[in-house]
Every structure is written in structure tokens, then in C-alpha cells.
Amino acid sequence: MALEEYRKKRDFKRTPEPAAAAKRPHRSKLPIFVVQKHDATRLHYDFRLEIGGVLVSWAAPKGPSLNPADKRLAVQTEDHPIDYADFEGIIPEGQYGAGTVMVWDRGTYETDPPDSAAVQLSKGELAFTLQGSKLRGGFVLIRTRLGGRGQRSWLLIKRQDEYADRSWDAEKYDWSVLTGRTMQEIASGAPAHAKKMTSGGQIKE
Ligand code: MN
């Protein structure tokens, strides 16, 4: 039921996006999160948390930030299937969300306090800690009245902790954690290449 809207928007004969796997494809005990950089009509970052068997999703025009001073608008979109976390590539012209998709960051998360993410979601305030390659530490997602009528607008905010970074600039992190590729390389169909990254997100060739 939760994925009805996702399926309705897509023609799986034309888009390489997954139609939804029967089984959870990830081995982690903890729920996963993924951030996909998406060069669609407007460039944005899709922030997704595994909740109740699907990826609950938000589109953030400016992407997540490690700077606690940033309040990043995140508009909730349709739930995506769990295996969407592995999707990187090109959604063809004429299809919903046409453009290049990068797996920008991925990892696991835990809610703080450790109560149900579904309950927090329904209350409009989610607090969680991310364990990703680029994003780490505490964040909150808070429902807000900002944005247009009927928009499900939230704010994504970094909490103050040792992972907070006041000089954060998402533009400096333009590589896939899945294939090492930049948006341009994905768009041109370049093969995957190794990029070793430190936990601070700096590239080491
Ligand atoms: Mn998107």
C-alpha cells in the first residue's frame, strides 16, 4: 500500500529504477538511510530513512548540512522501496524525475531516544543519529508550516556534537559513495572507480 504512489508515477519498462524487491536487500540490523543527489528539473538531494519497510523520503533543495546553523527545507515525497538505496544512474527523458541520480551517502541510523521512528514521524519530530560516510552524528527533522499549501514541509537540522562543521559545503562532496563517480561521470556513463575516503569526507586518491 505504501508504495502505490511510487509505482503509479513510474513506468518500469522505461525507467531503470527498482519496482521494489520482495526482500530487504541490506544486511544491517539497524535501519538504513540514503541520500541521493538528483539532477532533475532542479538539482536537489533526496533524503531517505528506512521506516516500516519502506524508505520514507524528503527532497531537500540545498541538501543536508553538517552546520547546525543551517535549517534545510525538506519536502516529504512519496515513500520509496528499500532497494532504491542501491539505485544510481539515469532516469530517461520523459520519465518522472528524469535526470542523473547519485548515491551521495548511505549508512545506518538510530533514533534518539530509541523509540519507534514511525511514532516520531507521526508526531512531526524525528531525532536520529546517522552513521554514514559523509553524514554523521545527530540530526532532527521537524515538520513546519513553511512552503506551499498541501506541501509536506520539514526542516532538517544538524544537532550540535563533535560531527558539527560550521564550514560545511555540500558542493565539495560531489562523489558517489557507491562508485566514486561525480555527477558528470554518472551522466556520461563512466565506469565506477575507487576513491578512498577518510571519515572526514576528504578524498584520498
Ligand atoms: Mn528526487
pLDDT confidence tier of residue 95, bands split at 50, 70 and 90: very high
Q: Which long-range contacts link 121-128 to residues 24+ away (Cβ below 8 Å)?
A: 121/51, 121/56, 124/154, 126/49, 127/159, 128/49
Which of 153, 185, 6 lies closest to 83 in space, CA to CA? 6
102-117 confidence digits (pLDDT tens): 999 999 999 998 779 9
152-178 confidence digits (pLDDT tens): 999 999 999 999 999 999 888 999 999
Instruction: Give the separation between CA 138 and CA 80, rounded to whole angstroms.
Output: 23
Q: How far is the CA of 29 from the centre of ligand 1 (A)?
A: 26
- Asked whether 157 and 70 are in contact (CB, 8 A), the reply is yes
pLDDT at 199: 44
Q: How far is the CA of 99 from the centre of ligand 1 (A)?
A: 9
Which of 164, 167, 165, 189 lies closest to 179 in space, CA to CA? 189
Instruction: Give the separation between CA 104 and CA 118, rounded to whole angstroms.
Output: 24
Q: How far is the CA of 138 from the centre of ligand 1 (A)?
A: 23
Q: How far is the CA of 157 from the centre of ligand 1 (A)?
A: 19
49-86 confidence digits (pLDDT tens): 999 999 999 999 999 999 999 999 999 999 999 999 99
8-59 confidence digits (pLDDT tens): 999 999 999 998 776 777 778 899 999 999 999 999 999 999 999 999 999 9
The most confident of the ranges 95-109, 143-157, 186-200 is 95-109
Q: How far is the CA of 67 from the centre of ligand 1 (A)?
A: 23
- Asked whether 78 and 155 are in contact (CB, 8 A), the reply is no
> Model-level pTM?
0.90
Instruction: Give the separation between CA 46 and CA 179, rounded to whole angstroms.
Output: 18
